[in-house]
Amino acid sequence: YEDRDGWIWMDGKMVEWRKAQVHVLTHALHYASSVFEGERCYDGKIFKGVEHSRRLRRSAELLDMEIPYSVEEIEKAKYDMLKANGWTNAYVRALAYRGAGDEMGVSAVHNPVRLAIAGWEWGAYYGDAKMKGAKLDISKWKRPSPETIPVAAKASGLYMICTMSKHAAQARGCSDALFFDYRGHVAEATGANIFFVKDGEVHTPLPDAFLNGITRQTVIDLLKQKGIRVWERHIEPYEMEGFEQCWLTGTAAEVTPVGEIGPYAFEVGALARDIAETYERHVRA
């Protein structure tokens, strides 16, 4: 990904793609002092861009970092980056991180908070799973307790077990992994939230140990507008036996139906297909 044409916004300047480098003593590389956002621009407009910029600043605050740019400045930087690259449909990746400072150690009070905004063209996150349903592995790792780590932050450190779980899933021929949380409840996938359907009603895990995704919240609103009942609650793994349909939600994943999770099978049913289409229309409306 390093050797290509393009522009990346870094600390207030548009930098050539190949020159968008950091020093090896960047604090974030050693101690995971970084937070990020994933957003999608549809037909020239970033879906819920302001919400993403606000979440970026909030994630940073949870890690005791203050991003030296306002929400308005971050919004402008995102559109400047898209314009410089000539993109109207693209994925946007904002990353705030502690850079290299005068000293190197766990404490980062003297390490400046930096901001980079890149983007790329990114199609369907799970390939053709939108049609036939994604196959998920069950991760051996658990989403940690809110007493262990700030689970509401979209912080890089939380993704260490996501990468490991995704590798294990891919080695087993699956496209993603489902996590249970530290109590054993169904939680989320490595980069997406999860929903289930039973008897015409929707059940989704309560986001008290993982990211309450912007797509998740959007989909709940869309379901309620359709008059469909949505239960946000703790879900036990054994309940998956009785669920009929399942889908994932996320900025990159959008709404992707799930066909299998470990031993559990789901149909790519009418509601899963309908909500995927409704979401697709909604983000471009």
Compute the half-sphere exposure of residue 114: CA atoms within 13 Å on the CB side of its CA: 22
Question: What distances in angstroms separate CA 279 from CA 39, 53, 184, 249, one per listed residue?
Answer: 15, 21, 30, 10
- Pattern 32-51, ligand PMP, x by CB under 6 A: ------x-------------
Min CB(222)–ligand PMP separation in Å = 13
Determine the interface stretch with ligand PMP among 85-93, 132-140, 238-246, 247-255 (rule: CB under 6 A): 247-255
CB 143, min distance to ligand PMP, A: 8
Closest residue by Cα to residue 45 from 93, 90, 95: 90
Check: CB of residue 249 under 8 Å from CB of residue 213: yes
Compute the CA torsion angle 155, 221, 277, 167 (nearest 10 deg).
20
Q: Is 259 in the site for ligand PMP (CB under 6 A)?
A: no
> Rule CB under 6 A: is residue 188 a binding residue for ligand PMP?
yes
Binding residues for ligand PMP, how many (CB under 6 A)? 15
Confirm or reject binding of residue 111 to ligand PMP (CB under 6 A). Answer: no
Q: Is the dihedral of CA 22, 70, 63, 191 positive or negative?
A: negative
- When binding is defined by CB under 6 A, the residue of 10, 56, 214, 276 that contacts ligand PMP is 214
The answer to whether residue 78 is catalytic is: no
Task: Name the residue among 252, 248, 241, 257 with its Cα closest to residue 283.
Answer: 252
- DSSP one-letter code for 159: G
Which two tokens mark 149?
């780590």
Which CB sits closer to ligand PMP, 169 or 211? Answer: 211
Smaller CB distance to ligand PMP: residue 6 or 250?
250
What tokens were used for 160? 């260490």
Considering only 78-86, 113-121, 122-130, 209-217, which stretch makes contact with ligand PMP by CB under 6 A? 209-217
Among 61-69, 78-86, 120-128, 214-222, the segment contacting ligand PMP (CB under 6 A): 214-222
Residues with a catalytic annotation lie at 154
Q: Which residues bind ligand PMP (CB under 6 A)?
A: 38, 154, 188, 191-193, 210-211, 213-216, 249-251
